[in-house]
């Protein structure tokens, strides 16, 4: 699917900086994620349909909260492709909270994706979900 990069409120950075989140993500993904997420929105209606199908049909890794802090989440492995078709391994972190936007996709990776792939807000990324 194709997603368009956008900036958001930056709230994920505080969540991503928590020791237990970093440790849990490293354990299930095999890498220490950069302490922030990259936000994308599906580019077209077809891309949104792919994202909905992934949520219902793909196996996600659960990320339960520790000691009642924050919310639980599901993690989907993903390959991220920028404009030069370079592949970067990462994951989509889907918080399980009421009224979470159905078109917001938060990506985590071992590096800062924007810098690594040379992309910015408004640019497109291709996501390949791995089941």
Domains and their CATH numbers in the chain: 2-129 (2.40.30.30)
Percent of the chain with pLDDT over 70: 89
CB 13 within 8 A of CB 36: yes
| Distance separating alpha carbons of residues 106 and 83, to the nearest angstrom | 19
Residue-wise pLDDT for 58-77, tens only, equals 999 888 766 655 567 899 99
Q: What is the pLDDT of residue 69?
A: 57
pLDDT, the chain, mean:
88
CB 99 within 8 A of CB 7: no
Residue-wise pLDDT for 87-124, tens only, equals 999 999 998 888 889 999 999 999 999 999 999 999 99
Q: What is the pLDDT of residue 98?
A: 85
Structure tokens belonging to residue 57: 């049909």
């Amino acid at each position: 699917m194709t997603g368009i990069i956008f900036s958001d409120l930056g709230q994920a950075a505080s969540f991503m900086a928590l020791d237990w989140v970093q440790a849990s993500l490293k354990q299930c993904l095999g890498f220490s994620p950069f302490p922030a997420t990259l936000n994308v929105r599906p580019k077209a209606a077809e891309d949104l349909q792919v994202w909905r199908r992934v949520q219902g049909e793909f196996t996600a890794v659960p990320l339960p909260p520790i000691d009642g802090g924050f919310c639980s989440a599901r993690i989907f492995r993903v390959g991220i492709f920028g404009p030069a078709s370079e592949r970067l391994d990462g994951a989509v972190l889907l918080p399980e909270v009421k009224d979470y936007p159905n078109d917001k996709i938060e990506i985590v990776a071992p590096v800062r994706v924007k810098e690594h792939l040379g992309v910015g807000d408004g640019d497109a990324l291709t996501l390949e979900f791995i089941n």
